[in-house]
Amino acid sequence: MALNSSVRTRLALGAVLVSTLLGAPPAVAAPGAVSADTGTAPSAPSGERSCPVVYFDLGETLVHTADDGGTTYLSGAASYLRTLREHRIRVGLITNVPPSWGTTDAERAARLKVEVDAAWRGPVPFAWEDFGDRIRTPRTEAERKPSPVLWQRAKADSGQCRVVYQAETDQELTVAASLGFVAYQVGRPHRPAFLPAGLVELLGRR
């Protein structure tokens, strides 16, 4: 895929921030997001900021499935989610699941939780409560990533908030960046495994 300058800039922004903007002050909340499904502004739960919103891929970004089928957090993922929670930063998932798992995001997310929890081998459970209703899944096979639909829905639900997408796959990061997400590739050597929470807060101010 040929990259225009805007996409290249967004792909590079996460890495540049890591090296130049550590120690930023907390973000100031932006106007509330408007839900693409309901047309209303979903309120953040008590203690959560409205902006920014950090979306993740799931497999090999936050969790790893071993050869025996057991699933655990990837190294650093649990502590990173805990840090975002302490900073009151909202998080979400953009992940492929079979459309047959339900007719709504909520139904498919419920089935996803069952499947992951059944295979879970980690010492602490996966932090589903952090993600609230921000789990975006394909309604049809045509919506499966790398189709842009899931990112478009996530961005629409986030209103005027700055959105971040973190994943391990170049192709997904390229699509996300083309749609206005700040894209950050996790698990790269010689830089933080995830985009530091202080930098996420700074993005929310810009």
Classify residue 99 by burial, with Cβ atoms within 10 Å: 0-12, 13-18, 19+.
Answer: middle
Residue 13: name the closest of 201, 195, 187 by CA.
195
Residue type, 176: A
CA angle at residue 190 from 91 to 88, to 5 degrees? 20
Give residue for tokens 């922004």.
Answer: 13
pLDDT, average across residues 44-57: 74
Provide, for the chain, the percentages of residues in helix, strand and coil under a 3-state DSSP scheme, each rounded to the nearest 5.
35, 15, 50
Convert the pLDDT of each residue in 111-163 to its tens digit.
999 999 999 998 999 999 999 999 999 999 999 999 999 999 999 999 999 99
pLDDT number for residue 205? 78
pLDDT, average across residues 155-183: 97
Q: Can you give the pTM of this predicted structure?
A: 0.80
Please give the domain boundaries of the chain with CATH numbers for all domains.
Answer: 5-19+48-204 (3.40.50.1000)
Convert the pLDDT of each residue in 83-117 to its tens digit.
999 999 999 999 999 999 999 999 999 999 999 99
pLDDT cut 90: percent of the chain above it: 73
Residue type, 116: V
Give residue for tokens 């830089």.
Answer: 191
First vs last C-alpha separation in the chain: 28
